[in-house]
Structures are given as C-alpha cells and as structure tokens.
Amino acid sequence: IRDEASDCNKNLFCIPKHHEEDLERVFIPHGLILDRTERLARDIMQDMGSHHIVVLCVLKGGYKFLADLLDYTKALNRSDDKAVPVTVDFVRINIYH
C-alpha cells in the first residue's frame, strides 16, 4: 500500500452498531489484509523450501494475524507434494516504564 493511498469511506463496510461512533474511516480493508497474509504465507513456503519452519508469536497482539497466516500455510502445506514441518511457540513481552 502506497503512502499516498487514500482511506476508504466507512459507509462501504458493515460496521457493528457499537463501533459506529468510534470509527471515523477504514485505512486498510480486511479483505486486503487477508490477501496480503496469504501472499506472505506463499512467500514463506517458497523461501523455506523443505526446511522446518519455526514460528514465534508475540502475544497478545500478534495472535489473530498468526492464526490467519498459519491457516494459509497449512492449506499450502496440504496441497504440496512434501509437507514441511511447522512448529509454533509463543512469547509474552512486558514493557515497564
């Protein structure tokens, strides 16, 4: 997405009633995020070849993205002739000021 790309009017999306007043606009539509996530999964599978993949998720913010990424990775793994082993681990980071 280019820096000069404009945002999307929120009227183009189905927004839950309880978020309507809080949301001014949509910068990146969910479908575009999913499309880019699928592309990232394809790139990872292509770059890693048949190597064991170790995924480290930073909790709490990264979990939903990681779940989507792993779904695409698993689908690609099933459709490939040789399955690549994938290990997932989690780390939680605390920030103290």
What is the model's pTM?
A: 0.68
What pLDDT does residue 69 have? 93
- Give domain limits for the chain: 8-92
What pLDDT does residue 43 have? 92
8 Å CB contact between 86 and 47: no
pLDDT < 70: residue spans in the chain? 1-7, 96-97
What pLDDT does residue 2 have? 59
As a whole number of Å, the CA-based R_g of the chain is 17
What pLDDT does residue 67 have? 92
8 Å CB contact between 53 and 83: no
CATH says 8-92 is which class?
alpha beta
What's the rounded Cα separation, in Å, for the pair 69 and 55?
10
What pLDDT does residue 42 have? 92
Instruction: Tell me if residue 22 falls in helix, strand or coil.
Output: coil
Tens digit of each residue's pLDDT (9 = 90 or more) over 2-29 = 555 666 777 777 788 888 888 877 777 7
